[in-house]
C-alpha cells in the first residue's frame, strides 16, 4: 500500500482528500501544519507528499527547501496552489518538485498525478526502512483479518505491536481466531524473512512431557530419550513462539516459563548449558487469567510478564460484519482445496449466517461451510445446506437482522466483490455498476470500504 503524507490546513479540503486517497488504496497521514509534517517526514518514509503552498506556520516551499537541505533524500512533492501562485509552483518544479495542481482542481487529476509519481519512485528508495516502518506499510500474506470495526481496530494496532512488543497476550473464546492474529503479528514482524513460527497447544500435551517439549532434552536425560531433541523455545529462535491455552500450564511449569522469559535462556533436560533464545512470545487463552490469579491458579508474576500487551479477539457474534466476509473467503479456499468450482451463497444462506449466534465462532463457520461443500452437489448453498431442518437450530428470531440491515450488508458485500474484481480501480468499478464515481465514493465511505478490501 503506497504511503502518502498530506499537508493541508483546510479541514474540508483535507477531509475530502483524505477520504478519496484512502478509497484509492493509499495509507495516508494528514497534517495541518508544516511543523508536524516535518516531524513525520523525518521520522518515517513516505512514497509521496501532497502539500499546500500556503500553510498557517510556514510555506510549503520553505518546508520543501528545509527538507532538501537537511535530509539525504526526500519523497516526491506534489504541490497544491492557488491560481495566483503558479509562478511559485513553477519555481518549485525547477528546484525538484514532482508536480503541482492549481485550485480549484479535479481530485481525480490529483490522484492520477500522485499515482504516476509513486510509480516512478525507485524500488531501492525503500531499502533503508526501519523494521517498524516496513511492518506498518507491508502487506501480510493472506490478506486482512476482517472488516468489522473491532477487527479493524486490532489491525491498526498490529503493526506497532509487531515492531515493538516482545511479549503479547491474546484472549478470546475458542475458535475466535487467536492463532490467526498471532500469525498476523509474526508476518508483520518478519515480512521478508524465513523466520519460524512455532505453535504449541499447552492443553494438548501431557504434563509429564510438557517440560521436555518446551525446553528440549539431552540424550539419556530420561528413559526413552535416545537422542538429543531441541525444544520449542530453541526451534522458535529468531521468530515467534505461540503458546495457546497457556492457562493450562501446571504451577511447576509456570515457574520454569517465568524463568525462561526473564533470562531469555533455557536449559535442556539433562543438560548443564544455558542456551540463548531470542524470540517473540505470544500467549493465548480463552480463560480469564486475572480471575485465575485471584483464585491462586496462575502465578501473579507470570501474569504480569506475559500481559505486557493484551489483545482481545471478539467472538464472531460481536462482529456480524465479518460473517459473510469470512464465508466468502472460506469458499474461495475450499474451492481450491477440493479442486472444484467455487460455491456461492444464496440470500437465504446469508440471512441464516447473520442470524446464527455462532457459539463455535470462526471454527464453527469453517466447519459448516466445509460440510456443505462436501455434502451438496449444487453450486449455490442455501440455508438448509448450512443448517439442517431436522437439526435443533441455535438461531433465534430476535437475532434476525432488519430488512434494512440485511440489504445494506448485501450492498456492501457486492461493492466489495466488484472492487476486488477490478483490483481497486474506482473508475472501472463505477462503470461496471452503472453509477458515478461520486456515488461509489459516498457508498464506500458509508460502508467503511477501501480498495484494498
423-443 residue pLDDT tens:
778 888 888 888 888 888 888
* 119 and 148 share one domain: no
Percent of the chain surpassing pLDDT 90: 35
CATH number, domain containing residue 428: 1.10.8.60
| CA-based nearest residue to 310, from 138, 154, 152 | 154
Give the range with max mean pLDDT: 11-20, 58-67, 124-133.
58-67
What pLDDT does residue 451 have? 53
Residue 452 lies in a domain: no
Report the domain count for the chain.
3
Report whether pLDDT(143) > 60.
no
Name the pTM for this structure: 0.59
Residue 201 lies in a domain: yes
Report whether pLDDT(300) > 70.
yes
Report whether pLDDT(239) > 90.
yes
What pLDDT does residue 247 have? 95
* 300 and 406 share one domain: no
| CA-based nearest residue to 298, from 261, 345, 247 | 247
Residue 395 lies in a domain: yes
Lowest mean pLDDT: which of 69-78, 221-230, 341-350? Answer: 221-230
CATH number, domain containing residue 178: 3.40.50.300
Lowest mean pLDDT: which of 19-33, 125-139, 410-424, 427-441? Answer: 125-139
Domain hosting residue 393, numbered range:
317-447
Residue 146 lies in a domain: yes
CATH number, domain containing residue 28: 3.40.50.2300
* 163 and 301 share one domain: yes
* Domain limit, last residue, from 289, 314, 339: 314
* 109 and 199 share one domain: no
* 359 and 301 share one domain: no
* Domain limit, last residue, from 314, 345, 364: 314
Instruction: State the cell numbers at 339.
Output: 479442486
> What integer best gives the mean pLDDT of the chain?
83
* 333 and 386 share one domain: yes
Mean predicted confidence (pLDDT) in 210-238? 87
Residue 307 lies in a domain: yes
* 151 and 118 share one domain: no
* 149 and 13 share one domain: no
Residue 453 lies in a domain: no
Report whether pLDDT(271) > 90.
no
* Domain limit, last residue, from 314, 337, 360: 314
* 144 and 163 share one domain: yes
Measured CA to CA, the distance from residue 453 to residue 449 in angstroms comes to: 7
What pLDDT does residue 86 have? 65
Residue 415 lies in a domain: yes
* 139 and 40 share one domain: no
Residue 105 lies in a domain: yes
* 116 and 151 share one domain: no
* 147 and 289 share one domain: yes
Amino acid at each position: 500500500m503506497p504511503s502518502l503524507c498530506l499537508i493541508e490546513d483546510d479541514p474540508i479540503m483535507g477531509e475530502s482528500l483524505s477520504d478519496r486517497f484512502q478509497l484509492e488504496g493509499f495509507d495516508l497521514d494528514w497534517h495541518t501544519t508544516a511543523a508536524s509534517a516535518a516531524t513525520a517526514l523525518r521520522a518515517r518514509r513516505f512514497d509521496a507528499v501532497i502539500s499546500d503552498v500556503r500553510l498557517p506556520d510556514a510555506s510549503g516551499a520553505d518546508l520543501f527547501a528545509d527538507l532538501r537541505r537537511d535530509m539525504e533524500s526526500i519523497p516526491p512533492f506534489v504541490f497544491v496552489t492557488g491560481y495566483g501562485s503558479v509562478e511559485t509552483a513553477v519555481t518549485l518544479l525547477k528546484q525538484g518538485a514532482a508536480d503541482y495542481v492549481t485550485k480549484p482542481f479535479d481530485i481525480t487529476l490529483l490522484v492520477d498525478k500522485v499515482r504516476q509519481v509513486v510509480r516512478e519512485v525507485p524500488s531501492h528508495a525503500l531499502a533503508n526502512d526501519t523494521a517498524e516502518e516496513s511492518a506498518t506499510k507491508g502487506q501480510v500474506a493472506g490478506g486482512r483479518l476482517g472488516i468489522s470495526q473491532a477487527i479493524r481496530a486490532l489491525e491498526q494496532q498490529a503493526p506497532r505491536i509487531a515492531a515493538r512488543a516482545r511479549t503479547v497476550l491474546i484472549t478470546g473464546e475458542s475458535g475466535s481466531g487467536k492463532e490467526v492474529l498471532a500469525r498476523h503479528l509474526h508476518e508483520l514482524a518478519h515480512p521478508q524473512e524465513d523466520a519460524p513460527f512455532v505453535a504449541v497447544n499447552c492443553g494438548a500435551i501431557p504434563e509429564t512431557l510438557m517440560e521436555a517439549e518446551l525446553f528440549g532434552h539431552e540424550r539419556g536425560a530420561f528413559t526413552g530419550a535416545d537422542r538429543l531433541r531441541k525444544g520449542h523455545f530453541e526451534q522458535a529462535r529468531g521468530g515467534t513462539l505461540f503458546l495457546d491455552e497457556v492457562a493450562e500450564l501446571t504451577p511447576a511449569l509456570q515457574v520454569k516459563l517465568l524463568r525462561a522469559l526473564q533470562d531469555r535462556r533455557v536449559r535442556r533436560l539433562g543438560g548443564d548449558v544455558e542456551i540463548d533464545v531470542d524470540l517473540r512470545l505470544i500467549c493465548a487463552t480463552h480463560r480469564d487469567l486475572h480471575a485465575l490469579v485471584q483464585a491462586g491458579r496462575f502465578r501473579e508474576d507470570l501474569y504480569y510478564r506475559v500481559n505486557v500487551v493484551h489483545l482481545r479477539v471478539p467472538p464472531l457474534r460481536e462482529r456480524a460484519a465479518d460473517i459473510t466476509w469470512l464465508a466468502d473467503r472460506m469458499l474461495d479456499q475450499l474451492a481450491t482445496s477440493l479442486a472444484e468450482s467455487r460455491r456461492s451463497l444464496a440470500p437465504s444462506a446469508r440471512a441464516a449466517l447473520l442470524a446464527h449466534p455462532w457459539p463455535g465462532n470462526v471454527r464453527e463457520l469453517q466447519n459448516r461451510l466445509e460440510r456443505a461443500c462436501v455434502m451438496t452437489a449444487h453450486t449455490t448453498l442455501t440455508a438448509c445446506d448450512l443448517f439442517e431442518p431436522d437439526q435443533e437450530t441455535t438461531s433465534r428470531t430476535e437475532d434476525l437482522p432488519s430488512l434494512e440491515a440485511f440489504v445494506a450488508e448485501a450492498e456492501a458485500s457486492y461493492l466489495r466483490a466488484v472492487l476486488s474484481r477490478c483490483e481497486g480501480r474506482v473508475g472501472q468499478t463505477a462503470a461496471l455498476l452503472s453509477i458515478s464515481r461520486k456515488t461509489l465514493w459516498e457508498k464506500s465511505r458509508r460502508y467503511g470500504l477501501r480498495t484494498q478490501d
